[in-house]
C-alpha cells in the first residue's frame, strides 16, 4: 500500500466556497489522478483558515506552503510543479505588502504571527467530516478523561480555575454556570448550544461548526456529565446550511463510534444531541428567547430570575453556552486550567475569536489572546486601512457595541476595558471604518437593524428605538436641531435602563458612543447642514465652478435627470431641485469644475 506523502488542504469554509474552492479541490483531484499521483498525495477539504481576504486558500503539508487566491485553473500547475517536482509556485504565494516579497508559509505572515488558535485549533487542519482526523488530534480524549478520571465536580473546578468566561457576549464565568445547573435537582436536564449568530458581519460560530464540529459535541457531552444532563440541543440558524450539514455528519459519526448515546466509554453515562433550527431572529441569541423558540413559541425574552440553569427548556434546568465557549473546553481539560489561565489578562483569560471586517486590508477570522490592543489587531494582523485611508473608528460587539476612535487604539481587548471605553466584547464582531464613513449614518444603520430585530415585547425597545431612529433620520436629512441631540442622549439612557433584555439594554450603545466620540459630526449635520464624509445625500450639494467650467457639456450629457443646463462653451449650472446627487457629473468632468459641498 502506497503511503500518502503529501496533503493538499483546501479551505472548505463558506467564505472560500463562495469563491468556488470546491472546484479547486475537484481540479486538484483530477490533476493528481491524471499524473498518477493520487496514491501519494491527498486533497482534503478543511474548515476556515481565517485569511478570508486571500481565499481560496490551498495549504500543502508537510512543507507548510501557503497558496492564496487559487483558481481551478491553477490546480495543474500546483500538481506539476509542487507535487511532482517539489518546486513552489511563486506567483501563488502571499506577497507581503510591507516587505514586498513573497512569504511561503503562514508562520511568517503578519496576519497569523500574533494569533493563538485554541477554539480554532483544528480549523484548516482536519477534514471536519472525518471523525478519525479529529480523534488523531486528541479528539474525545478530554471526554474519556472526564468520565474515567474525574468526578463531575472536579471537572467543574477545572473549568472554574481556568477562568473561562462565556464567549457569547455576556462574559459570565462558564464554570460557575455549570455548577449552578449541577446543583439543581431535576429528573431531566438539558445542555444547550447557542449557535444563533446574528451580529452583522459575524461568522465566528459558523466557522467553528464548519471546521471543527466534534469539539463542540465533545464539550457538550462533558457539560452533560458535569451538570447531570442526558440530552443536548444545538440551536442553529437555518441560514447556515454547511454548518448544519457538517454538524449532523459529526453527530452521526459520534453515535456510530459510541461517543454519543448510551453507556459512553462503558461508564454508564448517557448523552445524545439533537439539532433545532432558528429562523434568523437576532433576539433569539438571548438565552430565554432562544429557549422559547426551541419550544415552538414566539422568540421573546423573559425577565430573569429564574435563570435557565434553574428553569429552562420545558421548565427543566438547562445550561446554555455558545459555540466558541464550548470549543475551548476539551483543550482546557487536556492541557490544564493553569495553561489556559496563563493566556490573557487577570480578569479575561484565554483567547477571543473575532470576525475582522470592514475597511481593513486583511479581512478574516482571527483568534487573539485577551489583552492584545486594538492597534495590533487592526494595523498588524489586519494590515491597516484599505487604500491608505485614515482610520476613523472600529465597532466592537456588533449592534450592541460602540464605536471606538483612534484614541482607543491602545486599549487592551478584554471584557472590562471595552466596557470602560463605551463598547463591549459581544460575540466577536469587529468592523473597521475609515474617513469615508459618516458616524451619524453608522448609528442610524445599527438602529435600523435593532428596530427590525426587536421582538416588540417591551415598550422601551419597541417604541423607544423607533423614536431614536426617527431622530437620526431627521438629522441625516438636514432637519435636525441641537434639541434633537439632547433627546438622543436622554432617550438612549431611558431605553438602556428600562428594556427587558440585552437587545434593548444595549441597542443605544452605537448612538451614545458616536455622540461621545464624534460630537462634532452631529453638530455639523445639525448646524452646518453638512456631512463631511459625503454619505448623507440630503446634505450633499453638487455645484459647478463658473470660472473652471469650459462648457464642454460632458456633465449635462451624463446627468440622468437633466438637472444641468447651459449653452456649449458657456458655464453650466445645476438645478438643485432636480439633482438626485448621483455624482455622475463629477465623474465625467475633466476640468474639476464640479464641486461637492
Find the radius of gyration of the CA atoms of the chain. Answer: 27
Question: Per-residue pLDDT for 1 more than 50?
Answer: no
pLDDT tens figures, 425-436: 887 889 999 999
- Assign a CATH topology to domain 6-106: Glutaredoxin (3.40.30)
Domain with CATH 3.10.20.600 in the chain: 351-434
Q: Which CATH number fits domain 439-528: 2.70.98.40, 1.20.1440.230, 3.20.20.80, 3.40.190.10?
A: 1.20.1440.230
Residues, the chain: 597
Domain with CATH 3.40.30.10 in the chain: 6-106
Which residues are CB-neighbours of 66 under 8 A, at least 6 positions away? 57, 59, 93, 94, 103, 104, 105, 106, 109
Distance CA 456, CA 438 (A): 29
pLDDT tens figures, 550-574: 999 999 999 999 999 999 999 999 9
Which residues are CB-neighbours of 305 under 8 A, at least 6 positions away? none
3-state SS class at 509: helix
- State the pLDDT at residue 197: 85
Domain with CATH 1.20.1440.230 in the chain: 439-528
Please report the sign of the dihedral spanned by the C-alpha atoms of residue 390, residue 423, residue 286, residue 194: positive
Question: Pairing state of beta strands 65-67 and 94-96?
Answer: unpaired
DSSP H stretches of helix in 257-335 = 287-294, 323-335
- Assign a CATH topology to domain 351-434: Ubiquitin-like (UB roll) (3.10.20)
pLDDT band at 2 (very low <50, low <70, confident <90, very high): low
HEC states along 83-112? HHCCCCCHHHEEEECCCCEEECCHHHCHHH
What CATH number does the domain located at 541-596 have?
Answer: 3.30.70.20
Average pLDDT over every residue of 186-190 = 95
Question: pTM score, two decimals?
Answer: 0.91
Question: Per-residue pLDDT for 70 more than 90?
Answer: yes
Which residues are CB-neighbours of 232 under 8 A, at least 6 positions away? 190, 191, 192, 193, 220, 221, 223, 224, 271, 272, 273, 274
User: What is the Cβ-side half-sphere exposure of residue 272, based on CA atoms within 13 angstroms?
Assistant: 9
pLDDT tens figures, 109-166: 999 999 999 999 999 999 999 999 999 999 999 999 999 999 999 999 999 999 999 9
Task: Determine the number of helices (DSSP H) and then strands (DSSP E) in the chain.
Answer: 25, 20
Domain with CATH 3.30.70.20 in the chain: 541-596
Average pLDDT over every residue of 523-528 = 92
Domain with CATH 3.40.50.11540 in the chain: 131-340
**Is domain 131-340 classified as CATH 3.40.50.11540?**
yes
Is the separation of the CB atoms in 476 and 444 below 8 Å? Answer: yes
Distance CA 570, CA 23 (A): 57
Neighbours of 467 (CB within 10 A): 15
Report the mean per-residue pLDDT for the chain: 93
Amino acid at each position: 500500500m502506497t503511503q500518502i506523502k503529501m496533503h493538499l488542504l483546501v479551505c472548505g469554509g463558506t467564505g472560500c466556497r463562495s469563491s468556488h474552492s470546491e472546484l479547486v479541490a475537484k481540479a486538484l483531484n483530477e490533476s493528481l489522478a491524471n499524473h498518477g499521483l493520487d496514491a501519494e498525495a491527498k486533497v482534503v477539504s478543511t474548515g476556515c483558515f481565517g485569511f478570508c481576504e486571500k481565499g481560496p486558500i490551498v495549504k500543502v503539508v508537510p512543507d507548510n506552503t501557503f497558496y492564496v487566491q487559487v483558481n481551478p485553473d491553477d490546480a495543474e500547475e500546483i500538481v506539476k510543479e509542487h507535487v511532482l517536482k517539489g518546486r513552489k509556485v511563486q506567483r501563488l504565494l502571499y506577497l507581503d505588502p510591507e516587505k514586498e516579497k513573497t512569504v511561503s508559509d503562514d508562520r511568517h505572515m503578519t496576519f497569523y504571527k500574533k494569533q493563538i488558535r485554541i477554539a480554532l485549533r483544528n480549523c484548516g487542519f482536519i477534514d471536519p467530516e472525518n471523525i478519525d482526523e479529529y480523534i488523531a488530534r486528541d479528539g474525545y480524549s478530554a471526554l474519556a478523561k472526564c468520565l474515567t478520571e474525574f468526578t463531575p465536580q472536579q471537572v467543574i473546578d477545572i473549568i472554574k480555575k481556568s477562568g473561562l468566561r462565556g464567549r457569547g457576549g455576556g462574559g459570565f464565568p462558564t464554570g460557575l454556570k455549570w455548577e449552578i445547573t449541577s446543583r439543581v435537582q431535576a429528573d431531566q436536564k438539558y445542555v444547550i448550544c447557542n449557535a444563533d449568530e446574528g451580529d452583522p458581519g459575524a461568522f465566528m460560530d459558523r466557522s467553528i461548526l464548519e471546521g471543527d464540529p466534534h469539539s463542540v459535541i465533545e464539550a457538550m457531552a462533558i457539560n452533560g456529565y458535569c451538570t447531570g444532563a442526558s440530552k443536548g440541543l444545538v440551536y442553529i440558524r437555518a441560514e447556515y446550511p454547511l454548518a448544519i450539514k457538517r454538524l449532523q455528519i459529526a453527530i452521526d459519526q459520534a453515535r456510530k463510534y459510541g461517543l454519543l448515546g448510551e453507556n459512553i466509554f462503558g461508564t454508564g453515562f448517557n448523552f445524545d444531541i439533537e439539532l433545532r433550527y432558528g429562523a434568523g431572529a437576532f433576539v433569539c441569541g438571548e438565552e430565554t428567547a432562544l429557549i422559547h423558540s426551541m419550544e415552538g413559541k414566539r422568540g421573546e425574552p423573559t425577565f430573569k430570575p429564574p435563570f435557565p440553569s434553574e428553569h429552562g427548556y420545558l421548565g427543566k434546568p438547562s445550561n446554555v453556552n455558545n459555540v466558541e465557549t464550548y470549543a475551548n473546553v476539551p483543550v482546557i481539560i487536556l492541557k490544564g486550567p493553569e495553561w489556559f489561565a496563563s493566556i490573557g489578562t487577570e480578569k479575561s483569560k484565554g483567547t477571543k475569536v473575532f470576525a475582522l471586517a470592514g475597511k481593513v486590508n486583511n479581512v478574516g477570522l482571527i483568534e487573539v489572546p485577551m489583552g492584545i490592543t486594538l492597534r495590533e489587531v487592526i494595523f498588524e494582523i489586519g494590515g491597516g486601512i484599505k487604500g491608505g485611508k485614515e482610520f476613523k473608528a472600529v465597532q466592537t460587539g456588533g449592534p450592541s457595541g460602540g464605536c471606538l476612535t483612534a484614541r482607543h487604539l491602545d486599549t487592551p481587548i478584554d471584557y472590562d476595558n471595552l466596557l470602560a471605553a463605551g463598547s463591549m466584547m459581544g460575540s466577536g464582531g469587529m468592523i473597521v471604518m475609515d474617513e469615508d464613513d459618516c458616524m451619524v449614518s453608522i448609528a442610524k444603520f445599527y438602529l435600523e437593524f435593532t428596530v427590525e430585530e426587536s421582538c416588540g415585547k417591551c415598550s422601551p425597545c419597541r417604541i423607544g428605538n423607533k423614536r431614536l431612529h426617527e431622530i437620526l433620520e431627521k438629522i441625516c436629512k438636514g432637519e435636525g436641531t441641537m434639541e434633537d441631540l439632547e433627546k438622543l442622549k436622554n432617550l438612549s439612557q431611558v431605553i438602556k435602563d428600562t428594556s427587558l433584555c440585552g437587545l434593548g439594554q444595549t441597542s443605544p450603545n452605537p448612538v451614545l458612543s458616536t455622540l461621545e466620540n464624534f460630537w462634532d459630526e452631529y453638530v455639523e449635520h445639525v448646524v452646518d447642514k453638512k456631512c463631511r464624509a459625503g454619505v448623507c445625500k440630503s446634505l450633499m450639494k453638487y455645484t459647478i465652478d463658473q470660472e473652471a467650467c469650459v462648457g464642454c457639456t460632458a456633465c449635462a450629457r451624463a446627468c440622468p435627470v437633466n438637472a444641468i443646463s447651459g449653452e456649449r462653451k458657456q458655464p453650466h449650472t445645476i438645478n438643485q431641485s432636480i439633482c438626485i446627487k448621483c455624482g455622475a457629473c463629477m465623474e465625467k468632468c475633466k476640468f474639476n469644475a464640479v464641486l461637492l459641498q
